[in-house]
């Protein structure tokens, strides 16, 4: 039996059209297993459907900041007002059962021989962003597996540590012995690197290769649902721009 191929899903953000297109692409490209790096909800208009789908995948999933804040009735301190609007709206929609599921998610999970986290390994509950080598370095200090996948920035990037840390945008990489990797597959539901296509990654345990995949999807439908729900217009506009 050949080794599994993992589809690495992140920052779905209640975008049903994006998630559906990615799952189809993953199935067509040999994915046998899934993991989810958090932020299943927030921003887009189908939080309930997206939570149901992720739950049905029965896969290792970590908690994102949007998932976390959708559970709490506390004030949304530190959130941009537009993000806070969407979180308030999502809170009213989710069932107690879905909230219990989100509440059960850990910040960090180990899957086979790799790790998954939403933000950083050094302080996962602080929701820091990793864009720079120095930020990746802090996380590497807590990384015990050769490979860790992270999300949160919505920008696909890969960092490699072998003494120094070097990182940047990537489309494919092959793990080399003795090095460590901290890899962001980008966002399914709200890409922010200027490419509006949904972003995710495939990781083959057999070849030790990570492939970034971009999937066109029907963002016009996602946009019209956002407008119909009365969510902020900006959230609809940005889907067309990938910003
Ligand atoms: Zn996010």
d(CA 77, CA 69): 10
Task: Write the CA distances from 145 to 68, 142, 151, integer angstroms.
Answer: 25, 9, 17
Q: How far is the CA of 107 from the centre of ligand 1 (A)?
A: 14
Does residue 120 surpass a pLDDT of 70? yes
From ligand 1's centre to the CA of 33, what distance in Å? 22
User: Which string of DSSP letters, residue by residue, matches 135-194?
Assistant: HHHHHHTT--SSEEE--SS-S-EEEEEESEEEEE--SEEE--TT-EEEEE---SSS--SS
pLDDT in tens, 213-238: 999 999 999 999 999 999 999 999 99
Ligand 1 center to residue 2 CA distance, Å?
Answer: 33
Q: How far is the CA of 66 from the centre of ligand 1 (A)?
A: 7
Give the integer Cα–Cα distance in Å for 85 and 93.
13
Q: Rounded to whole angstroms, how far apart are CA atoms 140 and 137? A: 5
154: CA distance to ligand 1 center in Å? 6
Q: Does 49 have pLDDT greater than 70? A: yes
72 pLDDT more than 80: no
pLDDT at position 208 is: 97
What tokens does 149 get? Answer: 């996948």
Q: What pTM value is reported for the model? A: 0.95
Residue 209 near residue 173, CB atoms below 8 Å: yes
Q: How far is the CA of 11 from the centre of ligand 1 (A)?
A: 5
């Amino acid at each position: 039996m050949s080794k599994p191929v993992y589809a690495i899903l992140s920052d779905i953000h209640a975008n049903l059209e994006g998630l559906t297109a990615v799952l189809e692409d993953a199935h067509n490209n040999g994915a046998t297993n899934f993991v989810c790096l958090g932020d299943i909800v927030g921003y887009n208009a189908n939080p309930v459907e997206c939570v149901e789908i992720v739950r049905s995948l029965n896969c290792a999933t970590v908690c994102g900041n949007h998932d976390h804040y959708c559970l709490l009735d506390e004030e949304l301190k530190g959130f941009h007002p537009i993000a806070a609007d969407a979180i308030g709206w999502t809170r009213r929609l989710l069932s107690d059962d879905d909230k219990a599921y989100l509440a059960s998610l850990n910040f960090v999970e180990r899957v086979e021989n790799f790790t998954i986290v939403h933000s950083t390994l050094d302080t996962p509950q602080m929701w820091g962003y990793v864009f720079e080598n120095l930020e990746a370095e802090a996380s590497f200090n807590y990384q015990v597996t050769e490979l860790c996948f992270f999300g949160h920035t919505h920008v696909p990037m890969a960092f490699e540590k072998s003494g120094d840390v070097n990182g940047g945008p990537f489309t494919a990489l092959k793990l080399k012995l003795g090095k460590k990797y901290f890899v962001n597959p980008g966002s399914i539901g709200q890409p922010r690197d200027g490419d509006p296509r949904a972003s995710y990654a495939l990781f083959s345990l057999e070849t030790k290769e990570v492939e970034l995949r971009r999937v066109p999807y029907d963002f016009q439908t996602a946009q019209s649902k956002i407008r119909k729900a009365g969510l902020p217009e900006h959230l609809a506009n940005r889907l067309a721009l990938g910003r």
